[in-house]
Amino acid sequence: MQRSLSLCAVALLVLAGCASGPHTPADSAADLDANNVTRLDAALAGDWRSAENRARDIHRHPRETLSFFGVRPEHTVIEITPGSGAWYAEILAPYLRDNGRYIAAVVDPAVVAEGRGRDYQSGQRSGLQARFDAAPAQFDRARMVAYDPAAPRLGPSNSADVVLTFRNVHNWRGSGQAEGMFKAFYDVLRPGGVLGVVEHRAKADVPADDRSGYVGTAQVIALAQAAGFRVDGSSEVNANPKDTRDHPNGVWMLPPSNRHEPQDAAKYTAIGESDRMTLRFVKP
* Cβ burial, residue 38 (10 Å; 0-12/13-18/19+): exposed
Give the Cα separation of 175 and 59 in Å (integer).
27
8 Å CB contact between 17 and 236: no
Model-level pTM greater than 0.75? yes
Pick from 105, 234, 97, 213: nearest CA to 164: 105
8 Å CB contact between 245 and 210: no
Who contacts 280 (Cβ-Cβ below 8 Å, separation ≥6)? 68, 69, 70, 194, 195, 196, 197, 231, 232, 233, 234, 235
Who contacts 180 (Cβ-Cβ below 8 Å, separation ≥6)? 149, 150, 151, 152
Residue 108's pLDDT is what?
A: 96
Query: What kind and span of H or E run contains 199?
Result: strand 189-200
Question: Dihedral (C-alpha) 78, 82, 87, 90: value to the nearest 10 degrees?
Answer: 50
Tell me the pLDDT of the chain (284 aa) as tens digits: 333 344 444 444 544 444 433 333 333 334 688 899 999 999 999 999 999 999 999 999 999 999 999 999 999 999 999 999 999 999 999 999 999 999 999 999 999 999 999 999 999 999 999 999 999 999 999 999 999 999 999 999 999 999 999 999 999 999 999 999 999 999 999 999 999 999 999 999 999 999 999 999 999 999 999 999 999 999 999 999 999 999 999 999 999 999 999 999 999 999 999 999 999 999 99
Give the Cα separation of 241 and 187 in Å (integer).
35
